[in-house]
Structure 1
Amino acid sequence: MFATVLGDDGAELRPLEPWRAEEFFAHIDRGREYIGAYVGLAAAASDLESARGFLQSYAEKQAADSGRLYGIWLDGTLVGGVLFRIFDTAMEYCEVGCWLEPAGVGRGLVSRAITVLIDWAVEERGIHRVEWSASSANTASLKVAERLGMTREGVLRESYPYRGVRHDMEMWSVLAPEWRALRSAKTSRR
């Protein structure tokens, strides 16, 4: 009922809520290895109960206006998601993130979905700074940040221990005036 069409390829962005736990868990299971390569979500949703708990934690964040979670459906199948991992209106900043199972890769789904999130955060909620954080080894994620027009601000060396490896984490961001200029330039090229 509440969906945003992401293009003419059958892709939709919808709230990902606790009542979708079974569908969410099945999706995570299909893409567990791929999703888990750089993102702890696969481990956080290791069974139906923990998957429901993860969704519930974001329902609570949404109720507190401190985070949100959305799924990406392709032809009616959940294939990934995007989120406001952090959402702080007092400080006027947020952090966005994403994940996909292999069936959703290479279609521009994350870029389209994150664009919807940033548009809403900047224009509706007054967010000034949008951050993106990813492992330096996660080249797909870094390419999304670049495609979105974000600026690479730096690297936090070996700051994220994950699966027995200390990952360098890259910080990217876009500021509201930059985002508006990017969106305006894109609109005028059409």
Structure 2
Amino acid sequence: MFVREVDESLMLALVEPGFAARYLEIVDAEREYLGRWLAWPHNAHNREFFMSFITNALQGYSAGQSLTCGILYQGELVGNVSLNKIDRQLSKTDIGYWLSEQCQGQGLVTRAVSELLHIAFDELKLEKVEIAAAVENLASRKVAQRLGFTLEGVIRRAENIDGRVVDHAVYGLLAQEWHSSSV
């Protein structure tokens, strides 16, 4: 199983069936909070939802098309971060993430995404990583900005979140930019 220690308090672990119950627990407690910027929490009402998600994520990992990890903070599962849709032809991927409200403001997502950037650029040898976030989702946008991503544009009417249509700010980071900033 893929496990990556980010630092003494933070680990990333490939999703596994044992995560389903904890994911459901987080979403049940924080559905309104998570549903503000994510479309799926409004449909995540049972363990089977997360089992299906995990099964699909593991199939994607096995096929080399994605990497979906649980975020473990001080040993507790608190969120998710992933390389979605690894495109070998274009040598790029996009990153998605979510985190329990209780763990916000500690830099966990920034550190987790930074680790995925190492994987994307140094291990998978990809040339570009993208992050898309709702224009009004300032916390998510700040993650991209802190890590040196460039705002490439705004996609209007990009996503329907429980009946509310939002625009996406799309950020990109090239391998050469990552490597020159990491020196």
Corresponding pairs, count: 183
Q: What are the residue-to-residue correspondences of 1:154-165 with 2, within 5 Å?
A: 154-165=153-164
Q: 5+ residue gaps in structure 2?
A: none
Once superposed, which parts of structure 1, at least 4 consecutive aligned residues long, lie more than 3 Å away?
Answer: none
> For the Cα contact (< 8 Å) 2:133–2:168, is it kept in 1?
yes
> For the Cα contact (< 8 Å) 1:30–1:101, is it kept in 2?
no
What per-residue deviation string (whole Å, max 9, x for no partner) do you get for residues 94-136 of structure 1? 0001001112100101111111111111111110010000100
Q: 5+ residue gaps in structure 1?
A: 185-190
Per the TM alignment, residue 160 of structure 1 is displaced from its structure 2 partner at its CA by 1.6
Q: What are the residue-to-residue correspondences of 1:36-47 with 2, within 5 Å?
A: 36-47=35-46
- TM superposition score normalised by structure 1: 0.90
- TM superposition score normalised by structure 2: 0.93
Q: What are the residue-to-residue correspondences of 1:34-183 with 2, within 5 Å?
A: 34-183=33-182
In structure 1, C-alpha distance between the alignment counterparts of 2:16 and 2:44, rounded to whole Å: 14
Q: Aligned to 2:7, what secondary structure does the other structure show? A: coil
**Higher mean C-alpha deviation, range 142-151 or range 58-67:** 58-67
- Alignment CA distance shift 1:33-1:159 (3 Å): same
Equivalent residue for 2:3?
Answer: 3
Q: CA RMSD in A?
A: 1.5
Q: Aligned to 2:97, what secondary structure does the other structure show? A: strand
- Alignment CA distance shift 1:44-1:87 (3 Å): farther
**Higher mean C-alpha deviation, range 19-28 or range 142-151:** 19-28
